[in-house]
Amino acid sequence: AQSVTQLDSQVPVFEEAPVELRCNYSSSVSVYLFWYVQYPNQGLQLLLKYLSGSTLVKGINGFEAEFNKSQTSFHLRKPSVHISDTAEYFCAVRGNRDDKIIFGKGTRLHILP
Amino acid sequence: EPEVTQTPSHQVTQMGQEVILRCVPISNHLYFYWYRQILGQKVEFLVSFYNNEISEKSEIFDDQFSVERPDGSNFTLKIRSTKLEDSAMYFCASSVNSYNEQFFGPGTRLTVL
């Protein structure tokens, strides 16, 4: 079974400052890793995914994440945030033989002017 | 760009009533999923569906729940006798195969009174 931990429920950050949203996972099998974003009153949109290959993954809207197998982490980063990045961000994992995606509890990114 | 659609966007029902939530997956996708998100909590997997049968389901997906693909385009989730605790946002998702990313719909907010 897999699990995902997002330690920060909320992250406030000033506009144009860098941000890192932390995600750790546990699994007994190889996994695929995802970050989804949920804007207010909207559904889930895929930001980026790690399936295999390069551990640094670039996604939409200037976000990137790095898969670290030894630390079982998949932290999300952006060098300079914008007010439009205000949203809930979900880290998620799927076992390589599973259908279901397991989501973390989410981190609310709050951009300060 | 093709997208998953869900209707209705908001459903209000009385406890004990049956509800059917509808989804139209992306047309060339073969795998279909339902997830739910209780307000303030994380997104939880309910069920996956492939080749006209359930391939995986969670503990949440008890006998009160059923899924169906009644025609070539719709994918439905039925809750036979709704309970207060069924109030949540229900997300449909689809994917080309079991390895690729899942595309999520905008969700149906179910409120059980």
Question: For residue range A6-47, what is the model confidence (pLDDT) as tens digits?
Answer: 999 999 999 999 999 999 999 888 889 999 999 987 888 999
Residue B98, pLDDT score: 77
Residue A41, pLDDT score: 76
Q: What average pLDDT does range A63-86 have in this prediction?
A: 96
Residue B38, pLDDT score: 93
Among B106, B113, B61, CA closest to B87:
B113
Q: How far apart are CA B54 and CA A32, in angstroms?
A: 22
CA dihedral A43→B43→B7→B70, nearest 10 degrees, is: 130
CA–chain centroid gap for A39, Å, is: 14
Give the confidence band of B59 by pLDDT, cuts at 50, 70, 90. Answer: very high
Whether residue A66 is predicted with pLDDT greater than 90 in this model: the reply is: yes
| B75-79 and A107-112 beta bridge pairing | unpaired
- Is A100 in the B-facing interface, judged by CB distances under 8 Å? yes
- Is A8 in the B-facing interface, judged by CB distances under 8 Å? no
Q: For an interface test with A, which of B4, B43, B45, B95 has the most A Cβ atoms less than 10 Å from its Cβ?
A: B43
Q: Is residue B47 within 8 Å of residue B39, measured between CB atoms?
A: no
Q: How far apart are CA A34 and CA A30, in angstroms?
A: 14
Residue A4, pLDDT score: 95
Decide if B48 and A99 are in contact by the 8 Å CB cutoff. Answer: yes
Q: How far apart are CA A13 and CA A112, in angstroms?
A: 6
Residue A99, pLDDT score: 81
